[in-house]
């Protein structure tokens, strides 16, 4: 494996390998881009089969964060960290404090957050060593649980999709199938029923279904039957990879708009397939950006009101994505990447202009002395 070749291929700025002998910490921090601001992204703890697998994952995830922050209009770059280890047996304060010291050593170029295998408690441990951490408990001045903001962003995103397909954004009488009523799915249901939508919900955990049904009027569907529901909208809020060769032919939906990450099994192929089937797809990282918006606010001083307001911008962003997609006849996933890349390029040009001006002023001073 040639690490520098990989780094160059995906355009990363910096990759840091972190090892702490006393705790056994093995972590990789990848900073993909700081053009728009400090690189923010979660720290994932996972039982990787190999160091190579961990490196591939952190490079892929950190690049995705650059796009997510850029398209959400945040002044943040993209970064991510992975810790090689089993979160069930190796998660402890000493290890995460060691990780926190590495984060601190980067002086704010990378800001960490929760991800798979880490939670609010872990962020609190990291916070003992560095202030470059988000998602800390509200009691410590943090933003707490991001799910309500994520769900709100998905709700306004669904309205944008409905406007695009039906000409108005009313959800009254719209049939919506929701896969997964955990945190995001459950909060989403609460918004949708208020607007008069008819809900079909599923989850593999009966207690989650029971809780959701106690809060909202909805019809329960067996987990595997959710793809066949004769509904207008499908909102995946559970797993990744659920839009694939097997499920697409089953869909009767006009819209797919949900909070889950990595919904397309194959980004290039399945985005195109949805377009060919006449299904409007809200790119996952655009519609579920509420969580990032929420922790991003923490960097500037947290206010839930501001975070919710910013999440409302997901509506306009999606409308722009649909416009580009229609105009250029390209899938929505490709259209949103265009928006992100344009924003990064503009920021890069501004930075270059400012560097050129500084250089010119230094040269003037040098030559006149
Ligand atoms: P969660 O674990 O609280 O909820 C997920 C739910 O999906 C659980 O109730 C689980 O039982 C259910 N589920 C799992 N497999 C299923 C299946 N095959 N069929 C039906 N239900 C199934 O997680 P969450 O925080 O609500 O996040 C949901 C999704 O949204 C994830 O993909 C997550 O990465 C993404 N996301 C979450 C946030 C956030 O703020 N929490 C932000 C951005 C993206």
Query: In this structure, are 259 and 117 located in the same domain?
Result: no
Indicate the angle between helix axes 51-71 and 290-300, nearest 10 degrees: 80
Cα angle 196, 248, 233 (rounded to 5 degrees) comes to: 10
Residue 181 lies in a domain: yes
Task: Using most ligand atoms within 8 A of CB, pick from 177, 238, 264 the residue to mutate for ligand 1.
Answer: 238
Q: Are 67 and 17 in contact (CB under 8 A)?
A: no
> Where does a domain end: 89, 119, 137?
137
Residue 265, token pair as written in the block? 């099994």
Q: How many CB atoms lie within 10 A of CB 277?
A: 13
The β-bridge partners of 125 are none
Q: What's the domain count of the chain?
A: 2
Query: Is 80 a known active-site residue?
Result: yes
Q: Does residue 331 have its Cβ closer than 6 Å to ligand 1?
A: no
The β-bridge partners of 25 are 20
- The ligand 1 atom at the shortest distance from the C-alpha of residue 262 is 32
Residue 180 lies in a domain: yes
Q: Are 334 and 271 in contact (CB under 8 A)?
A: yes
The rounded distance, in Å, linking the Cα atoms of 98 and 79 is: 19
Catalytic pick from 68, 80, 198, 208? 80
Per-residue pLDDT tens digits of the chain, which is 369 residues long: 788 998 898 899 999 999 999 999 999 999 999 999 999 999 999 999 999 999 999 999 999 999 999 999 999 999 999 999 999 999 999 999 999 999 999 999 999 999 989 999 999 999 999 999 999 988 888 998 889 999 999 999 999 999 999 999 999 999 999 999 999 999 999 999 999 999 999 999 999 999 999 999 999 999 999 999 999 999 999 988 999 999 999 999 999 999 998 899 999 899 999 999 999 999 999 999 999 999 999 988 888 899 999 999 999 999 999 999 999 999 999 999 999 999 999 988 877 777 777 777 778 777 766
Q: Does residue 186 have its Cβ closer than 6 Å to ligand 1?
A: no
Backbone angles phi, psi at 237, to 5 degrees: -130, 35
Indicate yes or no: pTM above 0.85: yes
263 among the known binding-site residues? no
Residue 316 lies in a domain: yes
> How far from 28 is each of 18, 81, 85, 344, CA to CA, in Å?
6, 6, 12, 24
Q: Does residue 258 have its Cβ closer than 6 Å to ligand 1?
A: no
Separation of CA 27 and ligand 1 centre (Å):
25
> How far from 125 is each of 44, 83, 95, 279, CA to CA, in Å?
15, 15, 9, 44
Separation of CA 171 and ligand 1 centre (Å):
23
| Tokens 């500037």, located at residue | 300
Q: What is the CATH number of the domain that holds 17?
A: 3.40.50.10860
């Amino acid at each position: 494996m040639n690490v520098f070749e990989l780094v160059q291929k995906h355009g990363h700025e910096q990759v840091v390998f972190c090892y702490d002998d006393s705790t056994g910490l093995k972590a990789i921090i990848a900073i993909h881009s700081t053009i728009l601001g400090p690189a923010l992204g979660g720290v994932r703890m996972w039982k990787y089969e190999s160091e190579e697998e961990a490196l591939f994952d952190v490079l892929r995830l950190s690049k995705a964060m650059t796009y997510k922050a850029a398209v959400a209009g945040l002044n943040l770059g993209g970064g991510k960290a992975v810790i090689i280890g089993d979160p069930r047996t190796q998660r402890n304060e000493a290890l995460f404090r060691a990780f926190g010291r590495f984060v601190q050593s980067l002086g704010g170029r990378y800001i960490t957050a929760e991800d798979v295998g880490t939670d609010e408690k872990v962020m609190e441990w990291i916070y003992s060593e560095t202030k470059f951490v988000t998602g800390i408990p509200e009691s410590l001045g943090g933003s707490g649980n991001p799910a309500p903001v994520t769900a709100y962003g998905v709700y306004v995103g669904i309205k944008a999709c409905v406007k695009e397909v039906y000409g108005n954004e009313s959800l009254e009488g719209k049939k919506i199938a929701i896969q997964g009523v955990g945190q995001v799915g459950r909060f989403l249901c609460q918004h949708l029923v208020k607007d008069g939508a008819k809900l079909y919900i599923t989850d593999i955990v009966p207690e989650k279904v029971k809780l959701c049904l106690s809060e909202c009027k909805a019809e329960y569907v067996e987990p595997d039957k959710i793809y066949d529901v004769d509904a207008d909208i499908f909102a995946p809020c559970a797993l990744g990879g659920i839009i694939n060769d097997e499920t697409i032919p089953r869909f009767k939906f006009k819209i797919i708009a949900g909070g889950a990450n990595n919904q397309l099994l194959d980004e290039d192929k399945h985005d195109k397939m949805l377009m060919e089937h006449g299904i409007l797809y809200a790119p996952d990282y655009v519609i579920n950006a509420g969580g990032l918006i929420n922790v991003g606010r923490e960097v500037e001083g947290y206010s839930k009101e501001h975070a919710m307001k910013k999440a409302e911008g997901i509506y306009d962003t999606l409308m722009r994505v649909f416009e580009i997609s229609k105009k250029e006849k390209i899938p929505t996933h490709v259209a949103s990447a265009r928006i992100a890349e344009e924003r990064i390029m503009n920021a890069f040009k501004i930075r270059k202009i400012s560097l050129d001006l500084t250089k010119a002023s230094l040269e003037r001073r040098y030559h006149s002395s």
